[in-house]
Structure 1
C-alpha cells in the first residue's frame, strides 16, 4: 500500500476549449513499503491527470516515476491504491482554482 507524503496541484489550462470540464495535474510524493515490488530507494512520485465534469470526477490517467531520476515505471496501482489517490484528488483539486 502507498502513503501520500506530499503533493502539488494545478489547473491545466485549455485555451481552445477542447476538453469538457476541467483538468487538474497532481504530482503526489508517495512512500511505499520496502517489501513492495514498486519500492525504490530513490523515492517515487505519481503524476495524475484528474478530470472534473458536471456529472462526474475521475482519474483520466496516472504515471509512476522514480523521484531522483524521473524515470517512468511501468507499474499499475492496485485497486485500493487507485481509490486512495482518487479520493485524495477529489478532496484537494479545489486548491488549484484561481
Structure 2
C-alpha cells in the first residue's frame, strides 16, 4: 500500500467543448513501502485524470512515474489502491475550482 505525501490538482480547460463534463488532473507523490513491487528508490508519483459528468464521476485514467526521472512505470494498481486514489481525488476536487 502507499500514502500520498504531496499533491496538486488543476482543472483541465476544454475550450472546444470536446470533453463531456469536467476533467481534473491530479499529481500525487506517493510514499511506497520498500517491500511493495511499486517501490522505487527515486520515488513514485501518479498522474490521475478524474472526470465529473452528470451521471457519473471517477478516475478516467492514471499513470505511474518514477519521480526523479519521469520514467513511465508499467504497473497497474490493485482495485483497493484505485479506490483509495478515487476517494482522495473526489475529496479534493473543490481545490481546483
Q: TM-score, normalised by structure 2?
A: 0.98
Aligned residue for 1:93? 93
Across the two proteins, how many residue pairs are aligned to each other?
97
Kindly state the Cα deviation for residue 82 of structure 1 after the two structures are TM-superposed. 0.3
Work out the CA distance in 2 between the residues paired with 1:76 and 1:11.
Answer: 24
Q: TM-score, normalised by structure 1?
A: 0.97
Tell me how large the CA RMSD over aligned residues is: 0.5
Aligned residue for 2:45? 45
Aligned residue for 1:67? 67
- Structure 1 runs of 4+ aligned residues shifted over 4 Å read none
Unaligned runs of 5+ in 1: none
Work out the CA distance in 2 between the residues paired with 1:9 and 1:54.
Answer: 21
Work out the CA distance in 2 between the residues paired with 1:4 and 1:84.
Answer: 10
**Matched position secondary structure for 1:6:** strand
